Amino acid sequence: MPAVLWFRRDLRLSDHPALCAAAAQGEVLALYVLDEALLKPSGKPRLAFMYGCLEALNEQLGGRLLIVKGDPETEVLKAAQSVGATEVHVSTDCAPYGRKRDAAVAKVLAQNGIDWVETGSPYAITPGRITKADGDPYKVYTPFYRAWVRHSWPSPAKKTKVDWIEPKKSLKIPKAPSVGKMVLPEPGEKAALKLWRDFLDSGVNYADGRDRPDLPGTTKISPYLRWGCVHPRTLLKDLEDETLRGEIAWRDFHADVLWHNPKAARWNLDKRFDSIRLEDDKAAFELWCQGKTGFPIVDAGMRQLLAEGWMHNRVRMIVASFLVKDLHLPWQWGARHFMRHLVDGDLASNQLNWQWVAGSGSDAAPYFRVFNPTTQGKKFDPKGDYARRYIPANENYPAPMVDHAHERQVALERYGEITGS
């Protein structure tokens, strides 16, 4: 019997458990739904990259990807009925909106005699599966990581032969929005796998190089993980580096925290921070957004974001700390700006990492850990190569917009007000 494979955050054909499950049923209709609830809030860089990944997937499918637009509750049912499908297969969506949407779609399908089948997820281990002995979720990364390693994960799914159904009528993949001079990564599964092979062949020592934005020490695989052009298990099977394995575990941890605390996408996990004194300085925020704070490593990071839709992870922490603890602005402002410009913008990783820096999240950095942007620059960009890459030498560069030592003290005083310390 025919089945539908509804692609979402799994835009690939290899190591795809849901695809294998659908193919075992019979002929498969490949479906993608353009959902305004997801498209509307997405930034242009993320949309442009995603449309490119859809084009690459459609090419792999020989042009047989059915593109529809509208309410998934209506469109998925119509697609299934158009080919007489008895099952709709998906990778589990673990984000708050996706869970709510999928429950509604599954209900409509069931009312029409069509089964909803979830197999796999965008994570090494699906959120919600790792718990303490008493069934409670982990709130701290280190014990989560130990449990994550003990639990382990399946080997990559084997390749399977698929008899794809030719859709009768499909929309064209939308034209990618203009991102100006921004240089985006090459989209698609083939590009992801090549990037990964090149990283492995390069001999880069990730543990030593990952904190140096001036050096090519990171994988830059995050945009492909975001859209499922590669599955984390595909990476894990090749990994001997425990540090990099830990970064994949952090990704799973943040997804698990959001699974158990959906409101953490918008609100403080630690409710004490609801009452911390913050500023409402839009002008200061704009200087931060434009990379005009007067602190080179902060400004280079913010300009890299605007130029590439990506930012080095160490620098993400530095610029986030500056916004929250030097400018005393809400972490939500920074998180929203990141999501608007990041190609790899992922709700769980982005929001929970911001909360980690702000001190309001699960397993948060101690609030008194305030990154000094000057010493961070000297330590991780010792020759200034990273800063010069994004700040022209002939620029009339501004003086520092704040006195870091003073603002650090202000941040600690305000933290003391909500903790009584």
From CA 268, how far away is CA 280, in angstroms rounded?
18
Q: Are residues 217 and 109 in the same domain?
A: no
Q: Are residues 8 and 74 in the same domain?
A: yes
Spatial contact of 53 and 228, defined as CB atoms under 8 Å apart: no
Q: In the listed set 260, 292, 320, which residue is the last one of a domain according to the structure?
A: 260
Record the pTM.
0.95
In a domain, 169, yes or no: no
Q: Are residues 196 and 314 in the same domain?
A: no
What DSSP string describes 364-411? PPPTT----HHHHHHHHSTTSHHHHHHS-TTS-PPPPSS-HHHHHHHH
Q: Are residues 141 and 70 in the same domain?
A: no
Say what the pLDDT of residue 290 is. 98
142 annotated to bind ligand: no
From CA 370, how far away is CA 411, in angstroms rounded?
9
In a domain, 176, yes or no: no
Is residue 170 over pLDDT 80?
A: yes
Say what the pLDDT of residue 369 is. 83
Spatial contact of 144 and 130, defined as CB atoms under 8 Å apart: yes
Is residue 54 over pLDDT 80?
A: yes
Mean pLDDT across the stretch 6-29?
97
pLDDT above 90 coverage of the chain, percent:
92
> In angstroms, how far is CA 327 from the centroid of its own chain?
25
Q: Are residues 22 and 116 in the same domain?
A: yes
> In angstroms, how far is CA 130 from the centroid of its own chain?
20
> Max Cα separation, the chain?
69
In a domain, 181, yes or no: no
Say what the pLDDT of residue 364 is. 67
Is residue 18 over pLDDT 80?
A: yes
Name the nearest CA neighbour of 380 among 309, 313, 307, 293. 313
In a domain, 183, yes or no: no
Question: 12 is in which domain, residue-wise?
Answer: 3-121
Q: In the listed set 243, 260, 277, which residue is the last one of a domain according to the structure?
A: 260
Is residue 313 over pLDDT 80?
A: yes
221 annotated to bind ligand: yes
120 annotated to bind ligand: no
Per DSSP, 135 falls in state S
293 annotated to bind ligand: no
Mean pLDDT across the stretch 278-300?
98
Say what the pLDDT of residue 362 is. 83
Spatial contact of 315 and 301, defined as CB atoms under 8 Å apart: yes
* Number of domains observed in the structure of the chain: 3
> In angstroms, how far is CA 386 from the centroid of its own chain?
24
301 annotated to bind ligand: no
In a domain, 166, yes or no: no
Q: What is the pLDDT of residues 324-379, one digit of tens each?
A: 999 999 999 999 999 999 999 999 999 999 999 999 998 766 777 899 999 999 99
Q: Are residues 70 and 201 in the same domain?
A: no
In a domain, 162, yes or no: no
What's the token pair of residue 326? 């030097």
Which element (helix H / strand E) includes 31? strand 28-34
Is residue 259 over pLDDT 80?
A: yes
Q: What is the pLDDT of residues 63-82, one digit of tens each?
A: 999 999 999 999 999 999 99
220 annotated to bind ligand: yes
Averaged pLDDT of the chain: 95
Q: Are residues 290 and 250 in the same domain?
A: no
CATH number at 43 reads 3.40.50.620
In a domain, 173, yes or no: no
CATH number at 224 reads 1.25.40.80
Q: Are residues 151 and 249 in the same domain?
A: yes
130 annotated to bind ligand: no
In a domain, 272, yes or no: yes
Burial class (CB within 10 angstroms; exposed 0-12, middle 13-18, buried 19+) of 208: exposed
Q: In the listed set 241, 260, 279, which residue is the last one of a domain according to the structure?
A: 260
Mean pLDDT across the stretch 56-62?
98
345 annotated to bind ligand: yes
274 annotated to bind ligand: no
Say what the pLDDT of residue 56 is. 98
